[in-house]
Amino acid sequence: MALIEGCKYSLDIHIPADAVSAEIEKVVEKVRAKAHIQGFRPGKAPTSIIRSKFMPDIRQEALENLIPQYLQKECEKENLHVVSRPNVKDLHFHEGEAVHFKAEFEVAPEIELKEARGLKVNYVEPAVTDEDVEHRLTELREARAEFVNVDPRPAQDGDHCLVTLESISGVEGEPMHQDDINIEIGGKETFEAFSNALRGAVPGDVVEAEVSYPENYAAERLAGKTVGFKITLKQLRLRELPELNDDFAKDLGDFQTLEEVREEIRKAIFREREYSAQTQAKNDLVDKLVEMHEFPVPEAYIDNQIENNVENQLRSMKAQGVDVSKIKLDWSKLRESQLERAKHDVKASLLLGKVASSENIHATQEEVDNEVQRIARQQREPVAATRMKLEKDGRINNIVNRIVTEKTLNFLFEHAVKEAPAASE
């Protein structure tokens, strides 16, 4: 056995001549039982004829049967955990002689885990101010605002104008025509040209505006263009917010008073900020764990990680309506650009697994069942059907791994030394 570099090993394998001959005889009999030779019933042709007609295929099949067996035996003897497809080289095979070959492969790295408890990390318990609560309360009021019609008068800032828009210049092809568009005069999201054109108009008026759209505008037909519009003002409305009182609280759900709503908002904001802060702290702890340990990472693991990343990205793009079949990937460039990140992620995964094993962290049956039930509710199907599908796809193991990873991250965070970040940070 020889270490080539990193996690790559080389083994010289010897298969005795008698084992080779015995395997060839087995394959000969197998071929003889199925072969159709003119003048003979299947299984009755002489061995000599079978050998003369099919020997190259017989030798190949015998090798394909023997090589994995002897390679596995040698790896078990050397206590090697192979993680990549072996590359067979320098194969010597002559009739009646022993077989010699060299196998190169990668093995799982040996990791000597350092103390994972007591790692230092920047973390401060999040605070929620009264202003934060009032801001969220205002957002709730905004979401429940209603439009109230206004008696005809000249339009002014703050008015919401119900209009019909028709393009009169600057657009290729068919003119644009949109009914019942809401434009807030002076609104943050309103183009100034629209506000200027509508300010002072009364319902029934027809005005014109010339709007210059930015290059990165969402609607491609308008991006980077200056478009002239004819605007017909149909109606004026004001956006009326509900009063902040106990009735508003009752409309929101299972609340009796506005103070109950404020308290629930405070808790919700705290949970959001706590989750965000703890997630950042856990990521920092994983980075520290990776920095503390230096060990080689199998190329097979890195390639698998990059492939998974790319598949996830393509799946996300497909969900957004992108035709991924038209995307051409340059694997060498892709691998080069993602190599360091993938290597970091693989090391992090191996180390978290090592911590979980060291601290006896595992997923309970109850935790797995709860996750299966959650997925079943989400997909609106029976729990038994969801479980069967997950087991068939092998995704139950993914659930177990996800639970173990989350519990391990929680363990690192719970046993970390939390420090307030320096003022400059």
Residue type at 411 in one-letter notation: F
Provide the CATH topology of domain 260-321+332-419: Trigger factor, domain 2 (1.10.3120)
Pairing of β 120-122 and β 99-106: unpaired
Residue type at 69 in one-letter notation: Q
Contact criterion met (CB below 8 Å) for 178 and 165: yes
Write down the domain spans for the chain. 2-106, 146-240, 260-321+332-419
Q: Please report the DSSP string for 102-161 in residue order.
A: EEEEEBPPP--PPP-TT-EEE-------HHHHHHHHHHHHHHT-EEEE--S----TT-EE
256 in helix, strand or coil?
coil
Compute how many other C-beta atoms are within 10 angstroms of the C-beta atom of residue 218.
8
Compute how many other C-beta atoms are within 10 angstroms of the C-beta atom of residue 182.
14
Q: pTM for the complete prediction?
A: 0.76
Rounded Cα–Cα distance for residues 67 and 88 (Å): 9
DSSP summary character for residue 94: -
What pLDDT, on a 0 to 100 scale, did the predictor assign at position 23? 92
Contact criterion met (CB below 8 Å) for 164 and 180: yes
What pLDDT, on a 0 to 100 scale, did the predictor assign at position 40? 80
Per-10-residue mean pLDDT, the chain, length 425: 80 92 90 82 82 88 92 90 91 88 92 94 95 95 91 93 94 90 94 95 95 90 92 94 92 92 96 96 96 94 91 85 81 88 95 96 95 92 92 89 96 95 66
What pLDDT, on a 0 to 100 scale, did the predictor assign at position 250? 92
Residues ≥6 apart with Cβ < 8 Å to 334: 306, 310
Query: Which helix (DSSP H) or strand (DSSP E) does residue 167 occupy?
Result: strand 160-169
Rounded Cα–Cα distance for residues 103 and 24 (Å): 22
Dihedral sign computed on CA atoms, order 262, 264, 266, 272: negative
Provide the CATH topology of domain 146-240: Chitinase A; domain 3 (3.10.50)
What pLDDT, on a 0 to 100 scale, did the predictor assign at position 424? 54
- Domain 2-106 indexed as CATH 3.30.479.10: no
What pLDDT, on a 0 to 100 scale, did the predictor assign at position 43? 78
Q: Which residues pair with 121 in a beta bridge?
A: 418
Rounded Cα–Cα distance for residues 418 and 281 (Å): 9
Residue 133, token pair as written in the block: 């609560």
- Taking only the tens place, the pLDDT of each residue in 153-190 is 999 999 999 999 999 998 888 899 999 999 999 999 99
Q: Give all strands (DSSP E) within 197-246, no chain letters.
A: 206-212, 226-240
Contact criterion met (CB below 8 Å) for 268 and 139: no
Q: In terms of DSSP H, where are the helices of 14-46? A: 17-34
Residue type at 11 in one-letter notation: L
